[in-house]
Amino acid sequence: MANILDYLDWRGDLTLAQDPFNEVDNLILAELSFVDFGGIVPGPGGGRAVPLWKAAEAYFAKTEGRPIDMGVLVPNQIPELLRRTAASPRFRDMKLNGFVDHLDTVKAEQFAALAAECGDGTVYLSFRGTDDTLAGWKEDFYLSCMREVPAQKMAVAYTEAMAHQYPRIKLRLGGHSKGGNLAVWAGVFCPTAVQRRIAAVWSNDGPGFHDDILSLPRHIRLAERIHTIVPKSSVVGMLLEHEEDYTVVDSSQQGLMQHDGFSWAVLGNRFVRLHSVTRQARLTDQELRGWVQGLTIEQREKFVDSAFQVLEASGAQTLTDLKADSFKAVRPMVRALKDLDKETREALLKFMSILFMSNLRMTLEGIQEETEKSLLRNGKKAERSAGKKG
């Protein structure tokens, strides 16, 4: 299957004047906010925008001589994505500005964003999804039990600040994973005058929201401009509640790994669409929602705190730390798990079993689907061959 890197090879020579901004462009800019542009791209109100090609040169000069590891769950193709966008007429002259990167491990706060002047009279505000840090993942889990997590509040403030920096210019908001959730949240809760200037909001497999958010007049006003994209076996993007209209796309991966935007199938200037998410994804979604809704808000918060208490007992601050020292991490994590009360420990184990079994079942379902496709292709080849012989 072709992906966003292939798209840059195929259509990167077409400017936005020749072929208008599309959903694939959105995912590319959403992924670029994972790049650490600190010291390269100015923050909000901090200086002149930097052409993308120039920012890429500075980034690779800064990282020259050492491997670029994006972490356990952040795709390592992102530096290559930056390299190809910097070489493409479609993206190279876009100007980057407003880069922020905030991390507070004590308060479990993680927020990063980037503004791209697209050159077609719009600015794309790219909100970074969850990175490699445990703090970022803890904040994600708080989405189920807090009215507003710190990153959502920062996303609203960032949108307002960049709207002030770019007056009278149309805005696009987007992000992948948690970044998609932040984009929608910022679009819903930014000042009304700013909301009117939003041309589109893109949530690329981002978690949803509580029911009461979807029924707000502020959300209803924006709903037709919100574009939600999920892969066929989406788990992350189907968490909590979503707008009814979402696009399901094909993926080259199986199970939870379909969350990786580099696995999404591209044809021309759009993703390859499917009619719906898989049956197993729907069942897992129902099982997770049922489990979450069976807990009170207080129980959810206690669960999140306890889960990360176990992870942080290892001394790790990132998922990469956990992976690198997995053997050393196990013993303190087991001790921390034993210290939990029985109810919390059972809740944590139940949650892990749902995710583990769902990933296994989705993977098997994906293998079965690919096998059936292969048999169908081989059958058609055999028919054509028999026809030629006849």
Task: Please provide the average confidence, as pLDDT, over all residues in the chain.
Answer: 82
Domain range annotation of the chain: 4-277, 284-389
Residue pair 113/99 in contact by the 8 Å Cβ criterion: yes
Q: Specify the range with the lowest mean pLDDT, choosing from 155-159, 193-197, 326-330.
A: 326-330
Contact 58, 102 (CB under 8 A): no
Distance, CA of 164 to chain centre: 26
Q: Give tens-digit pLDDT for 312-366.
A: 777 777 666 666 666 666 677 677 777 778 877 777 776 666 655 554 454 445 5
pLDDT digits (tens, 9 = 90+) for 99-153: 999 988 778 788 999 999 999 999 999 999 876 667 766 766 777 667 788 999 9
What is the per-residue pLDDT for 210? 73
Residue 277's pLDDT is what? 67
pLDDT band at 276 (very low <50, low <70, confident <90, very high): confident
pLDDT band at 288 (very low <50, low <70, confident <90, very high): low
Which helix H or strand E contains 300, and what residues bound it?
Answer: helix 297-312
Mean pLDDT calculated for residue range 207-225: 88
Question: For the ranges 78-87, 180-189, 342-351, 352-361, which has the lowest average pLDDT?
Answer: 352-361
d(Cα 235, Cα 239) in Å, to the nearest integer? 6
- Report the alpha-carbon distance of residue 95 to residue 49 in Å, rounded: 5
CATH number of 4-277: 3.40.50
Alpha-carbon gap, residue 364 to 223, rounded angstroms: 35
Rounded to an integer, the average pLDDT of 39-66 is: 92
Return the SS3 of 55. Answer: helix
